[in-house]
Homo-oligomer: A and B are copies of this chain.
Amino acid sequence: MISVEDATQRIVSALKPLDAETVEIAEAAGRVLAEDAIAKATQPPFPVSSMDGYAVRSTDVQTVPARLHVIGTSPAGHPFNGKVSEGEAVRIFTGGVVPDGADTIVIQENTEADKTHVTVKSGAKSGQHIRRVGLDFTRGNVLLAKAKRLTARDLSLLAAADIASVFVRRKPTIAFAATGDELSRPGEPRKPGGIVSSSGYGLAAMIENWGGIPRDLGILPDDADAIASIADEKADLLVTLGGASVGDHDLVQRALGPKGFALDFWKIAMRPGKPLIFGKLGDTPLLGLPGNPVSSFVCAILFLQPAIASMLGTNIMLPIRNAKLAVALAANDARQDYLRARTQVRDGEFFVEAFAVQDSSMLKILADADSLIVRAPNAPHANPGETVEILPLC
């Protein structure tokens, strides 16, 4: 058995960034940059007013009231092309270009205007209410670094910098199959002694969230030939669900051996989820997740998520944070434990409580959980009020 950290490291280093492609920014949310994004424009490209008012020379309003001749207007998108000289002002609006000669904006609340003139009633320092050229960024600036996963905010930033499309990693296709003679799809007739195959639905949604393209290969029977057929699938990563142990009916390793499967490791010192297979089937990496739905979910978060990130040329930091125990925890054994738990704020403090039953088949408790308590191998008994690490779930 290897540790969670070692397993993650081995998976991440075995997976290389995919090739890249150009996509329009309107389609780029969640995509990962394959190169730095460099500003194609300076923002603002000229000094602009941040208020409605009058563009004036600050020297003209040192003594107030000051009556100035209004020689034009400068609304956003309609710059005034003349120059503001001594004793002159230009009516300006938010986003309007500050005309030559003017160096400050008097907000309209501090003025009184008639048809041809404005009376400024309070002074204004040079530069006031003016957004200088390049306040936000300058052409040539690195706005977003290679390997950044694009947020909504990033898309607006790219647009403002005149970047209409970006070079991003191709989305990895993750083909997955459930294995087991007992499985059928929801709504279909049950097999004798059968249950409904469930893990794939959550897995597909997670793969999409993590930036991959899920491809559901369906349910494979406990039959070596059927399982071996996944060797023919085109995918950037193959995932099997179930059959990862070495029991008489856990066939994944045995079925894939003749197809050239090279095992890297298959046992991790963790709970839930000990029997996890990782290796290569020809050129295609293969991750064999455990069959129990809670185990497969936790292993997907811990191992599939960084695997996808690695193919996207980036990495993920699990958002581990601290919480106080609401209820004691028993000492842990040698396996790293991930306990289904719920958090709550009490008197301004952040508490977490593990569910009393932690069976790895129980999906209702997994759905009700909002976090996993992470217990290190051999962690001692922990009392209420002690701080533990949690991994919030989405």
Establish whether residues B93 and A205, one from each chain, have CB atoms under 8 Å apart when the complex forms.
no
Establish whether residues A186 and B162, one from each chain, have CB atoms under 8 Å apart when the complex forms.
yes
Q: Give per-residue flags for A122-166: 1 if the beta carbon is below 8 A from chain B beta carbons, else 0.
A: 000000000100011100010110000001111111111111110
- Chain B: which residue is nearest A80 at the CB level? B193
Q: Give per-residue flags for A44-87: 1 if the beta carbon is below 8 A from chain B beta carbons, else 0.
A: 11100010100000000000000000000011111100000000
Establish whether residues B158 and A186, one from each chain, have CB atoms under 8 Å apart when the complex forms.
yes
Q: How far is the CA of A363 from the CA of B158 in the complex (A)?
A: 9
Q: How far is the CA of A74 from the CA of B156 in the complex (A)?
A: 59
Which residues of B are found within 8 Å of A76, using beta-carbon distances?
180-182, 193, 222, 249
Establish whether residues A154 and B367, one from each chain, have CB atoms under 8 Å apart when the complex forms.
yes
Which residues of B are found within 8 Å of A158, using beta-carbon distances?
186, 201
Establish whether residues B363 and A160, one from each chain, have CB atoms under 8 Å apart when the complex forms.
yes
Quick check: is A187 within 8 A (CB to CB) of the other chain? yes
Establish whether residues B293 and A322, one from each chain, have CB atoms under 8 Å apart when the complex forms.
no
Which residues of B are found within 8 Å of A209, using beta-carbon distances?
29, 152
Establish whether residues A153 and B245, one from each chain, have CB atoms under 8 Å apart when the complex forms.
no
Establish whether residues A26 and B78, one from each chain, have CB atoms under 8 Å apart when the complex forms.
no
Quick check: is A359 within 8 A (CB to CB) of the other chain? yes
Quick check: is A94 within 8 A (CB to CB) of the other chain? yes
Establish whether residues A191 and B77, one from each chain, have CB atoms under 8 Å apart when the complex forms.
yes
Establish whether residues B96 and A363, one from each chain, have CB atoms under 8 Å apart when the complex forms.
no
Partner of A135 from B155, B208, B362 at Cβ < 8 Å: B362
Q: How far is the CA of A366 from the CA of B159 in the complex (A)?
A: 14
Quick check: is A25 within 8 A (CB to CB) of the other chain? yes
Q: How large is the interface on A (under 10, 10 to 19, 20 to 34, 35 or more residues)?
A: 35 or more
Quick check: is A260 within 8 A (CB to CB) of the other chain? no
Quick check: is A239 within 8 A (CB to CB) of the other chain? no
Establish whether residues A75 and B181, one from each chain, have CB atoms under 8 Å apart when the complex forms.
yes
Quick check: is A282 within 8 A (CB to CB) of the other chain? no
Nearest CB of B to A115, in Å: 15
Within 8 A of B (CB), among A303-344: 321-322
Establish whether residues A44 and B361, one from each chain, have CB atoms under 8 Å apart when the complex forms.
yes
Q: How far is the CA of A131 from the CA of B153 in the complex (A)?
A: 48
Which residues of B are found within 8 Å of A46, using beta-carbon distances?
193
Quick check: is A202 within 8 A (CB to CB) of the other chain? yes
Nearest CB of B to A22, in Å: 12
Which residues of B are found within 8 Å of A195, using beta-carbon distances?
43-45, 95, 160
Establish whether residues B201 and A159, one from each chain, have CB atoms under 8 Å apart when the complex forms.
yes
| Known A-B contacts A156-B202, A156-B297; A361 and B180 likewise in contact (beta carbons under 8 Å) | no
Quick check: is A394 within 8 A (CB to CB) of the other chain? yes
Establish whether residues A160 and B293, one from each chain, have CB atoms under 8 Å apart when the complex forms.
yes
Q: How far is the CA of A394 from the CA of B216 in the complex (A)?
A: 28
Within 8 A of B (CB), among A198-238: 198-206, 208-209, 216, 222
**Top 10 closest A-B pairs, CB basis?**
A77-B182, A77-B181, A164-B187, A79-B193, A156-B202, A29-B205, A152-B205, A160-B198, A159-B198, A155-B201
Q: State the A residues within 8 Å of B (CB).
A: 25-26, 29, 41, 43-46, 50, 52, 74-79, 93-97, 131, 135-137, 141, 143-144, 151-165, 180-183, 185-187, 190-206, 208-209, 216, 222, 245, 247-249, 291, 293, 297, 321-322, 348, 350, 359, 361-367, 369, 393-394
